[in-house]
Structure 1
């Protein structure tokens, strides 16, 4: 039988409802009796004791809020009576000791990836088109239209088919009322989708709104991010389109390539519009040269690689009150398995580490690592506060509606997806992963900006947990979607890959789901499973301009 409630940490003074609870209901939990003073919806919390105004509230074993009104034992915890509060943090206070999980069953396992000359391993094989400036986005759109379907990377035509049917009804002089009431069956129009290049997983286009018109710092950061994607192990080659007069110049990108990876040897084709005879020549030459490059890139095949070559990005978005109880801890266990196997894990979203900073500081392997995290975190927080939008403004209306009523509650649950391993490195935005183990990456919490940044730092698989559902993906890095609850997995089955709702019902454990997540990631890394985000073409790419974004 499913338990009705849960206390996440022994020190907590709030209790989580795992199912809807009614006002007046008596809950017996851990030899304590609670008479509910309010209706408590699943994912929300009630008080385990009486709180007076100003009393501090603990969940996940950390400070998550301050009572703004008296809250009786058994009363609903809500935005009406609780305000965000988080503990202060400073330098390391202790030496961290970690006991890795048992990974003997994976010790001799491999995955089939693309082995690059610099020692990195790709989980996919893409050709990348990059504009140095937004002025070239339209030209990339033309190239995309010309190449994707012809090379066998076209997507479903069902919506085009529906649009055609609508036009036909209109041309038959059907009224708006008749058209609105017509039931269209969305079917996929059949066309040849066999790849011309069997070993090329796709052609990706990093359109963006930068490169000129902003600050020089914006262009420099964009350059480093684009170079991170060019250097990504899932990328076989790159075609760059430039206008010519913009801030972001090709020689700047070349410098950043040399700084990031002195052994970079991928083919890079550069075309500048203001130096060409015509737009027609520019596009024609870019298409022809890229096609020649694809012929060579297609010669690369998947080969066995050790699990130490996995770089796992962990992300949550559209989070709910179950995120920190089911999907995130399960993903955290999978992350610990990857670290124990010699792989790398990237935990980002600095606004969603608010309140657990001291834990991460104390888990840092040395003072230098800890101090870099403190410097980046405090700088980010100060920047947000300077414009009147501190980290406490992070939870979205959807988060709050589904139980994440303060940023500290959201953050304490979000941090669980990083597991328990020591923090071996801290990376500023666009910095590449350098060490095996758990690294922190400075990004916003914003789903696409964070995912974009993680891939830019070198993640070759990203696992994304969600309680409300989100269509976020990435152009070059496969994104695996995990639901925190079974209702979501059933309702949005078209975007969810795995469900951890059985942790809530008691049918599975965090450890068993963590192992399932790792096994799924190995199949994704080998190309045996294509995640839903990749199937749906969710190629989201939004560079962070280092402004205030939560």
Structure 2
């Protein structure tokens, strides 16, 4: 029989309902009988003792809120009786040691990737087109239409066929067209548009330059075509400087065109098409080779989280992160608003004082901008989060941080900075799904693991995004977007370690091109830069 409750940490004074519970229901928990005094939906929390007003609520072993009303033992926690609260952190307060997981079975495992001249290894081979300024978005869209129609497989659009049938009176079944063969079998062509590059503060343009430079330098990219208008804030030289700062000796082909120097749109596009075709043709000759797992660089993301995310999907990612770090790979943990409340643990895990100070400085500066805008990190949980049991930001954060496992923090990066150290890196980004995923790929992630309890279709133009569900109901309901289901952890059928090893096997297949993640199959190519104002 499935357990009805789970206490995540021995010091917790709340438990998570694994199934729906009725008021007045008797539960045998930790060898004691407990009576529920309210209905408790699965994923929500209930008190394990009587709480007075102001009582500290502990979950995952950390402070996640305080009681704003009296709460009886066995009563459900809600936004009506609990308020966000987290401990203040000033610096390291404890020593840290780490016991890596057993990696003996993984030491000789490999994946098939794309070698880059600088030693990085890609899980994809992509040629990207992007503008330096939004004024060039239309030209990017024109190029996208041309290249996709002439180079790439045209899959049957069943929705368009359905509409055609309806227009014709619904008298015939939608026609099914056979797929054609791609002109190039070993290269993907992707197109990025964005609303930036001009019209905002210069710092935003400089930040965008770093992000776009990171995309060019990402190991999944073979080459790039870049469009500029000419008069925008994000000048070509600013972009080149950003690229040089990341990789002074970059040897990838980067084709840059400035419309105001080239005359008519027709002349510019004709030149771009000819030059880019030659570059894409050469990039298609790059073949996959065999590499150790140390060349994997995983981004760790969660979105549409629920009350199970922090006890199934996120810890599974954390175990994979620990395995890869032990194998000398790289993991990136971002979403700084969702680290609120677990700062002390992360500070203590920093390998040096400078990293610890940088992390706290970035957190405090970010939070100040949010407060100055009349909001706060406590406003982070979305209506969907709250509905499914994540009622305070600290509660959400404590579960979200589980994606980072238990390994030391080797470096702390500000938004737009590129990874240089092997191990677990912290990257300052918003909690917004797409902005955070966009940033991790810009910092060098060649694959992204994305947990969700409610379902979200987020993907990326150049890096495979593997969607991991926290519960089996979601995996069944939205099977078109979910790659891996960690619901067996909730059911007691698998341990976190077993689930983590299964996920790593899946990652190896995706990284080798043997399996296409659902986000890639759906062409879910999301790209949203962070304007350094306020974004949660």
- Specify which of 378, 394, 398 is matched with residue 384 of structure 2: 398
Task: Say which of 229, 233, 236 aligns to 2:222.
Answer: 236
* Paired position in structure 2 for 1:151: 151
Output the CA distance in 2 between the equivalents of 1:391 and 1:125. 38
Q: For each residue in 1:384-404, what CA deviation from the matched residue of structure 2 results, as whole angstroms up to 9, or x when unmatched?
A: 111121100000000000000
Task: Check whether the contact 1:7–1:14 (CA below 8 A) recurs between aligned residues.
Answer: yes
Show the counterpart of 1:499: 485
1:183 Cα deviation from its structure 2 partner: 11
Q: Secondary structure at the match of 2:149?
A: coil
Cα shift at 1:184: 10
Which residue does 1:198 correspond to in 2? 185
Q: Deviations over 1:270-301 (max 9, x none)?
A: 11111123111111111111111111101100
CA distance in 2, matches of 1:183, 1:376: 62
- Whether 2:391 is the aligned partner of 1:429: answer no
Mean CA deviation greater in 27-36 or 226-235: 27-36
1:189, distance to aligned residue in structure 2 (A): 3.5
Gaps (5+ residues) in structure 2?
A: none
Corresponding residue for residue 177 of structure 1 = none
1: CA distance between counterparts of 2:205 and 2:387? Answer: 38
Separation in 2, partners of 1:347, 1:191: 42
Contact 1:157-1:188 within 8 A present in 2 as well: no
Q: Which moved more, 1:487-496 or 1:158-167?
A: 158-167
Q: After superposition, where does 1:323-472 map in structure 2 within 5 Å?
A: 323-472=309-458
Contact 1:162 1:184 in 2 (8 A): no
Deviation at 1:153, TM superposition (A): 4.1
Aligned 8 A contact 2:153 2:179 in 1: no
Contact 1:111 1:306 in 2 (8 A): yes
Change over 3 Å in CA distance of 1:242–1:347 after alignment to 2:
same
Give the corresponding residue for 1:179: none
Q: Distance in 2 between matches of 1:183 and 1:250?
A: 55
SS in 1 for 2:150: coil
Cα distance change on mapping 1:132 and 1:81 into 2, 3 Å: same
Q: TM-score, normalised by structure 2?
A: 0.98
The farther-off stretch of 453-462 and 269-278 is 269-278
Runs (4+) of structure 1 moved beyond 3 Å?
A: 153-156, 182-185
SS of 1:78's partner is coil
- SS of residue in 2 equivalent to 1:203: strand
Q: Which of the residues 503, 513, 517 maps onto 1:527?
A: 513
Given that residues 165 and 171 in structure 2 are in contact (C-alpha distance below 8 angstroms), is that contact kept between their aligned partners in structure 1? no
- The secondary structure found in structure 1 opposite 2:431 is coil
Cα shift readout 1:90-138 (whole Å, capped 9, x = no counterpart):
1111221000000010111111100001000000000000101101111
Correspondent of 1:306 among 275, 288, 292: 292
Considering only aligned residues, what root-mean-square deviation do their CA atoms show, in Å? 1.3
In 2, Cα distance between equivalents of 1:222 and 1:189: 42
Normalised by the length of structure 1, the TM-score is: 0.96
Count of residues in Structure 1 that have an aligned counterpart in Structure 2: 536
Matches of 2:94 and 2:391 in 1, distance apart? Answer: 31
